Amino acid sequence: MNATLFLLCATVANLLVDPTFTENDTHWSDNSPACIIESGLPTILVNPDDEIAFPAWYQDFSVAPGTVIEATVEGFTTGTTRGYGAYCSISWFDAENKRIQFDQSGPISLNNTWSQLTVRSVAPENAIKGRFFLLLNGRGKAQFRSPVLRVLQAPRAVDLASTVTLNLNDTPLPHPLFGFGAEDDGWFYNTLNRDKGVDDTAIAIREQRIRDMGMDWVRMFFWYRDWNPSGDLKSFTFNTDNMESHYKSLALYQELGVDITVTGVEWGVKDPFNPPEDLAHAIGELFEELIIRRGFTCIKHWILTNEPNVSFHQKGGTFESYTQIHRRVRDEFKRRNLDVKIIGSDDTNGGLNWFQQCVSTPEYAEACDAFVSHRYLKHDALNLMPWFFKDRHDAMTSAGVQDKPLLVAEFGFQDDRSAPAPCRTR
């Protein structure tokens, strides 16, 4: 097979009936009294004392299985707090009207400005109909305009038995290849695992597999409770059981010449990001302990938190505070003379809004040395991946930060065999 150029394009037709809500809600349905029409726009209003749920406007549509659908809509939020935020989604239903699959956009990341939401989805094999949703999970107000639902021309997969020809040119990349790697959260050697049977034989198997993989880069979670158990961001305990396990993992990666990205996780920590100046100082203390006092020079990068587009707003944060934290940590690294690169965004779920906000906000983008995203796909939707890269490349180019590396820190795909055993069909 010769090299093939895949064109990522869409048909012009909008599958939605009355996308402008000219006939009010004649062609649209809703599932909550929170859904109203205001100034001719579909609106969701959740009061401060209302229960957080999933109020939504929606409309059904029909396409053949295997069809790739793209939905776009502009959203405007006012005073939204908690929950996932305002977003759009596509669900698929079978002949029994059971939802069998869904995909969703990222949430709107900034209040009081119109933002575009995008979601792409592939109609699964047993789908009888699709349903397009406009949602608000949280409190506050969300309005939507200009929804479009259209069919995309998807790239075709190449048969594994085919011959693929790659045509390379002499134009150098603006930066060297960052590397290939994996995630290892470093807790393998802790007491919990030893009590469950992890012995010297298991350790030898693990460490040989790591050597065999020949990785360039490893992303490693560091839980705040492991080194700041009180949560006060001022008192530190660097010899806990989990930290001792981290040190054994880091020693192996340092021996192998693998670069480490430290990623913060704050499970169960109340208000983990405030005040920002204390958080920045605490992170500086952690890195000075790891790099200066313990000598783990394999640590090269820092990520504030895992998948902030899902969790940061839910924990009461704003994008402004997110930016402030990164700038304070950058200054803290400089003050301590730590050569640590900052990796920004770390978004997941395929939505572009958070990533786009990161690269297009100069105060934030300037503090970052690279940007990263995660993507998990259904097995029958792997052909959506080219758009994932194109969206981010276009966003970085538009923002003028295309000279910084774009990384994928988590990637995977699944089918029904990823579900619990009782739910599997094969």
Read off the CATH number of the domain in which 224 is found: 3.20.20.80
> Is residue 162 a part of any domain in this protein?
no
Non-local CB neighbours of 183 within 8 Å, separated by 6+ positions: 218, 219, 220, 221, 409, 410
> Is residue 138 a part of any domain in this protein?
yes
Q: How many CB atoms lie within 10 A of CB 235?
A: 10
Q: Are residues 109 and 187 in the same domain?
A: no
Report d(CA 369, CA 235) in Å as an integer: 29
Residue 390, exposed/middle/buried by CB under 10 A (0-12, 13-18, 19+)?
Answer: exposed
Q: Are residues 298 and 258 in the same domain?
A: yes
Report d(CA 69, CA 59) in Å as an integer: 14
User: Which of the residues in the chain have pLDDT under 70?
Assistant: 1-12, 156-158, 174-175, 350, 415-426
Q: Are residues 200 and 138 in the same domain?
A: no
pLDDT at 422: 54
> Is residue 160 a part of any domain in this protein?
no
> Is residue 2 a part of any domain in this protein?
no
Q: Are residues 140 and 205 in the same domain?
A: no
Domain finish residue from 134, 153, 172: 153
Task: Assign residue 76 the CATH number of its domain.
Answer: 2.60.120.260
Cα-based angle 250, 253, 256 (whole degrees, multiple of 5): 150
Q: Are residues 232 and 375 in the same domain?
A: yes
Structure tokens at 104: 């969703």
> Is residue 3 a part of any domain in this protein?
no
Domain finish residue from 137, 153, 169: 153
Total structural domains in the chain?
2
Q: Are residues 419 and 350 in the same domain?
A: yes
Backbone angles phi, psi at 96, to 5 degrees: -95, 15
Report d(CA 92, CA 129) in Å as an integer: 6
Looking at the DSSP assignment, which residues form a beta bridge with residue 72? 118, 148
Structure tokens at 400: 């003028």
pLDDT at 350: 62
pLDDT at 1: 31
> Is residue 21 a part of any domain in this protein?
yes
Residue with tokens 């305009």: 145
Domain finish residue from 115, 134, 153: 153
Q: Are residues 353 and 210 in the same domain?
A: yes
pLDDT at 47: 95
Q: Are residues 224 and 328 in the same domain?
A: yes
Q: Are residues 228 and 333 in the same domain?
A: yes
pLDDT at 176: 72
pLDDT at 342: 98
Q: How many residues does the chain have?
A: 426
Query: Of 375, 412, 368, 409, whose CA–CA distance to 390 is shortest?
Result: 375
> Is residue 106 a part of any domain in this protein?
yes
Q: Are residues 216 and 86 in the same domain?
A: no
Backbone angles phi, psi at 37, to 5 degrees: -105, 125
Query: Of 417, 415, 350, whose CA–CA distance to 389 is shortest?
Result: 350
pLDDT at 420: 58
Structure tokens at 277: 């100046």
SS (H, E, C) 31-79: CCCCEEEECCEEEEEECCCCCCCCCEEEEEECCCCCCEEEEEEEEEEEE
351, 118 contact by CB (below 8 A): yes
pLDDT at 169: 84
Cα separations (Å) of 299 from 79, 310, 409?
39, 26, 16
Residue with tokens 């579900």: 419
pLDDT at 2: 32
Domain span at residue 213?
181-423
> Is residue 48 a part of any domain in this protein?
yes
Q: Are residues 284 and 399 in the same domain?
A: yes
Q: Are residues 66 and 212 in the same domain?
A: no
Structure tokens at 139: 């409190």
pLDDT at 380: 79
pLDDT at 161: 76
